[in-house]
Amino acid sequence: MTDRISYNSLRDFINRLEKGGELIKIKEKVSPILEITEITDRVSKSEGGGKALLFENVEGSDIPVLINAFGSVKRMSMALGTDDIEKIADDIDSLIHMKAPESWQEKMAALPTLFRMSKFPPKVISHSSPPCQEVVTIGEEVDLTRLPVLKCWPDDGGRFITLPCVITKSVEGVRNVGVYRLQVFNPKTTGMHWHIHKDGASNFDDHRRAGRSKMEVAVAIGCDPAVVYAATAPLPPGIDELMLAGFIRNSHVDLVQCRTVDLEVPATAEIVLEGYVDIKETRIEGPFGDHAGYYSLTGDYPVFHVTAVTHRKNPIYLTTIVGKPPMEDCYMGKATERIFLPLLKTINPEIVDYDLPWEGVFHNCVIVSIRKRYPAQARKLMSALWGTGQMSLAKMILAVDESVDVHDYRQVARELLNRIDFEESLVITEGILDVLDHSAPKPLRGAKIGIDITGPEPDDERQSSLSQTDRSFDPFIKGCEDHNEIVSLNIPFTEVSSPLAIISIDKKAPWDGHRIAREAIHNDEEGAVKIIMALDKDVDPSSHSVALWKFFNNVDPSRDIFHEGGRLFVDATRKMKDEGHPREWPDELVMDDEIVKLVDEKWPRLGIDNSAVEDDPKPDFESGLD
């Protein structure tokens, strides 16, 4: 097993970031209301994710703000104490396949690994004044407005604590640590936004069913990076996230008893909020600019009553922003993708590799390569993944052969457009969806699509032809140019069996996406174009990554994907109520023009290398097909 650097606190990590040239300290006065978001969003979307930012002069608070700390491949690796996250996956794979020692020699050889495993569980320590309790405020003195909590996007319902490690226990005493946003309502209460599928919500339901009136909660802000990451990890229910943190750190996490609730928190956390949620009390929370790039809508959520605030002397407030990818959470998600591959392969041994594209905001798209041995194996795997943990939220699963590099999106796209069979490749089913999915007519459930483009077996009657034929796209292009409702178009790949045309349209009425997509092929009598995807007029079809992001967010497979006459049509436009979508359609995240201008004026004084940030503060996504 590989050795890794261990951080005892967030401050240890900050010191390493600074020594490694990965931290920019900003002395210019900035507002936590939208300004920090605009600055950070520009940096996050710069090449490679930019640098971590430490805002030392924040309006309304004497506490500095650290953000984008995990927002690059390099910093995410540094956070987990390694130079390559794949090494952590290798360690997990070694543990999974560790053979029980039999001989005396094997037992001796296993001792180092067994000794290391003994250091994984968290340890409660006795300390009269642990770092996280150097300053203690209890009861009426509690004032959350002293914290530099961000308002991230213009239409947010308020200020939100966005990277808290929320600690709860089940009725049986099993601990869970999760990251659930907290909207600050007033100096002593916040919302507690745990999605219905999360373990925190499950613990809450356990307390309700047991007839409890309250559930105690502790919130640790600014823990060491292994704890922060572990709190985001999709662990099976009942597995302690702090155990995973200990595995990553190669040392146990020290915990201390809270002052007003019967919970333990990481001893070196920067800030801790203690309190409870009332089982019967809810309050409208949101809207909030979420990681899908749209606002999540308002909803009723429990209220967190803060009974104490403890913190280190001169604390540092760790936070993040989410929105249109790529952003900081994308790199955390990619770490999860790699680290959990061995576990996924243990359950489904035919898996060779998988990729969760940023454009799919992780829960909307899975590309998986398989070692295929028999017909319909890919479909069997899709069913298995849709029944596995957070994979159950995936809206699209694309299965490819083991020879395909799932991380090479151009290769995947060509494979898809060469092998897809509209009659045989597509599987549309129903299941649970992420709460952030806005394309389905009903919340939390809806259509899913599986696409099987694995090669046929020798005895499979279906054959995939990869031959190219001479074709002219001129009639199709001319027809689109003459259509007054088609604004622009793009054909990303021409030398494939099923060319795709992406069109942006001036949609004005229900079902215009379907109608105009059909009309686009009227001049294409030879069938040069096989797949037509319609987008709203404000989307540039040549920005392939943005087009994919729209596809994954805006398409309900059962309503918006259909094939007829040897063509496949996809409607990725914004939907109206008369299109069978009674729910409110959320707005995209866009920063206020005044904030953009204000940041433009401050930019030269921020000390951020302009060469690393593109002129357009909202550049196209790096991970796409461009």
Give the rounded percent of residues in the chain with a pLDDT score beyond 90.
81
What letters, b where the CB count within 10 A reaches 16 and e where it falls short, cover 414-426? Answer: bbbbbbbbbeebb
Going by pLDDT thresholds of 50, 70 and 90, the confidence category of residue 466 is: very low
CATH number of 555's domain: 3.40.1670.10
Neighbours of 269 (CB within 10 A): 30
Distance (Å, whole) CA 281 – CA 283: 7
More confident call, 76 vs 390: 76
Give alpha helix (H) positions in 294-444. Answer: 328-339, 341-347, 377-385, 409-419
What is the average pLDDT score of the chain? 90
Going by pLDDT thresholds of 50, 70 and 90, the confidence category of residue 120 is: confident
Q: Which two tokens stand for residue 580?
A: 């069978």
**Model confidence pLDDT, tens digit, residues 510-551:** 999 999 999 999 999 989 999 999 999 999 999 999 999 999
Checking DSSP bridges between strand 567-571 and strand 531-536, what pairing results, if any? parallel
Whether residues 138 and 221 fall in one domain? yes
- 174 in a structural domain: yes
Whether residues 306 and 193 fall in one domain? yes
- 59 in a structural domain: yes
Whether residues 423 and 301 fall in one domain? no
Among 186-190, 237-241, 312-316, 526-530, the minimum mean pLDDT is found in 237-241
Among 52-66, 348-362, 513-527, 612-626, the minimum mean pLDDT is found in 612-626
Neighbours of 410 (CB within 10 A): 14
Going by pLDDT thresholds of 50, 70 and 90, the confidence category of residue 119 is: low
Whether residues 499 and 563 fall in one domain? yes
- 512 in a structural domain: yes
| Domain, as residue range, for 512 | 474-579
Q: Tell me, what's the pLDDT at 363?
A: 79
- 372 in a structural domain: yes
Q: Tell me, what's the pLDDT at 116?
A: 54
| pTM for this prediction | 0.91
Final residue of a domain: which of 63, 96, 129? 96
Read off the pLDDT of each residue in 583-593 and give the average, rounded to a whole number. Answer: 96
Checking DSSP bridges between strand 365-370 and strand 567-571, what pairing results, if any? unpaired
Distance (Å, whole) CA 343 – CA 387: 14
Final residue of a domain: which of 318, 337, 362? 318
Q: Let me know: does 619 contact 543? Beta carbons within 8 Å.
A: no
More confident call, 98 vs 585: 585
Residue 460 has pLDDT above 60, yes or no: no
Q: Tell me, what's the pLDDT at 78?
A: 96
Residue 111 has pLDDT above 60, yes or no: no
Final residue of a domain: which of 298, 318, 338? 318
Give the closest residue to 447 by CA, choosing from 383, 396, 500: 396
Residue with tokens 């959350």: 144
Read off the pLDDT of each residue in 448-464 and give the average, rounded to a whole number. Answer: 71
Residue 616 has pLDDT above 60, yes or no: no
Residue 24 has pLDDT above 90, yes or no: yes
Going by pLDDT thresholds of 50, 70 and 90, the confidence category of residue 214 is: very high
Going by pLDDT thresholds of 50, 70 and 90, the confidence category of residue 93 is: confident
Residue 614 has pLDDT above 70, yes or no: no
Residue 249 has pLDDT above 50, yes or no: yes
Q: Which two tokens stand for residue 522?
A: 């009227």
Residue 624 has pLDDT above 80, yes or no: no
Q: Tell me, what's the pLDDT at 81?
A: 94
- 4 in a structural domain: no
Count of domains forming the chain: 4
Residue 382 has pLDDT above 70, yes or no: yes
Whether residues 219 and 256 fall in one domain? yes
Going by pLDDT thresholds of 50, 70 and 90, the confidence category of residue 623 is: very low
Q: Tell me, what's the pLDDT at 115?
A: 44
The contacts of residue 414 (CB under 8 Å, 6+ apart) are 493, 496
Whether residues 49 and 144 fall in one domain? no
What letters, b where the CB count within 10 A reaches 16 and e where it falls short, cover 355-368? Answer: bbbbbbbbbbbbbb
More confident call, 372 vs 102: 372
Residues with a catalytic annotation lie at 290
Q: Tell me, what's the pLDDT at 98?
A: 47
Whether residues 72 and 123 fall in one domain? no
Q: Which two tokens stand for residue 597?
A: 């201008």
Burial class (CB in 10 A: 0-12, 13-18, 19+), 65: buried
Q: Tell me, what's the pLDDT at 390?
A: 86
Residue 201 has pLDDT above 60, yes or no: yes
Whether residues 230 and 134 fall in one domain? yes
**Model confidence pLDDT, tens digit, residues 156-194:** 999 999 999 999 999 999 999 999 999 999 999 999 999
Whether residues 360 and 432 fall in one domain? yes
Whether residues 232 and 311 fall in one domain? yes
The contacts of residue 385 (CB under 8 Å, 6+ apart) are 348, 366, 368, 391, 392, 394, 397
Going by pLDDT thresholds of 50, 70 and 90, the confidence category of residue 625 is: very low
Whether residues 401 and 437 fall in one domain? yes
Q: Tell me, what's the pLDDT at 73?
A: 95
Give the rounded percent of residues in the chain with a pLDDT score beyond 70.
91
Residues belonging to the chain: 626
CATH number of 173's domain: 2.30.110.10
Q: Tell me, what's the pLDDT at 90?
A: 87
Residue 222 has pLDDT above 80, yes or no: yes
- 533 in a structural domain: yes
- 335 in a structural domain: no
Whether residues 446 and 483 fall in one domain? no
- 113 in a structural domain: no
Going by pLDDT thresholds of 50, 70 and 90, the confidence category of residue 609 is: confident
